[in-house]
Amino acid sequence: MTETLCAVLVFARAPRPGHCKTRLIPALGAAGAARASAALTRRALHAATAADVGPVELWCAPDAHHPFFGECRQHCEGLSLHAQCDGDIGLRMHHAFADALTRHPRAVLIGADAVSLGAGDIRAAARALDTHDAAFVPAEDGGYLLVALNRANDALFDGITWGSPAVWAQTRARLDAMTLNARVLPTGYDVDHPPDWARAVREGLIEALTP
């Protein structure tokens, strides 16, 4: 474990058919997309735990009451559940950081669907905060998969065109404007569309769904 504890925040959505990973529905069906969402969350929690940098927190949407989240807590020792706030992803990330950084000196946040992230990436981000203000893992689609901070700052997430291919470029410009020193780790990918799911299965990052 790193000398300075670093919380790992995992953002996940309740696996309700028709309400999660909807862009996978054409390939997997509503129930299959929900199962895929649950599998991705379990994979992310495993990576977060294996990183062994500090406590793992599951940040749940729309709240923490779905039975799946309780099952995650039972199977992941020390896992705590937290509800994401309302608003866009930037507001929700800032809220999670602002809360977590009152309890921990630094934090790494990942999305449950960031399938290419492993324990080593999380450890590298946590260690980067020894010498940097922030750390990021960019995504192939123009967003990012991971952000690590040792201080919450809402300006970092405000005014970004979330969901667009410009997210990472806008964030880099914001980092420069705020004179924040960020470590940029190797680019990865997340699961948004059927080809992403097929790729992750093919690369052995996630198991194929059984009938």
SS3 assignment for 38-66 = HHHHHHHHHHHHHHCCCCEEEEEECCCCC
pLDDT in tens, 68-109: 999 999 999 999 999 999 999 999 999 999 999 999 999 999
Residue 138 β-bridge partners: 144
Q: Report how far residue 19's alpha carbon sits from residue 14's, in angstroms, rounded to the nearest whole number.
A: 8
- 2 part of a folded domain: no
Please name the helix (run of DSSP H) or strand (run of DSSP E) that holds residue 138, with its range, or none. strand 134-138
Domain that residue 15 falls in: 7-202
| Residue 210 falls inside a structural domain | no
In a domain, 41, yes or no: yes
CATH number at residue 29: 3.90.550.10
Number of structural domains in the chain: 1
pLDDT in tens, 120-143: 999 999 999 999 999 999 999 999
Residue 207 covered by a domain? no
The amino acid that residue 166 corresponds to is A
Mean pLDDT rounded to a whole number for the chain: 96
Q: Is residue 155 part of a domain?
A: yes
pLDDT in tens, 153-176: 999 999 999 999 999 999 999 999
- Assigned domain for 1 exists: no
Q: What are phi and psi of 96, to 5 degrees?
A: -65, -45
Is 76 inside any structural domain? yes
The answer on pLDDT for 8 being more than 70 is yes
209 lies in some domain:
no
Interior/surface letters 140-168, b for 16+ CB within 10 angstroms, e for the rest: ebebbbbbbbbebbeebbeebeeeeeebb
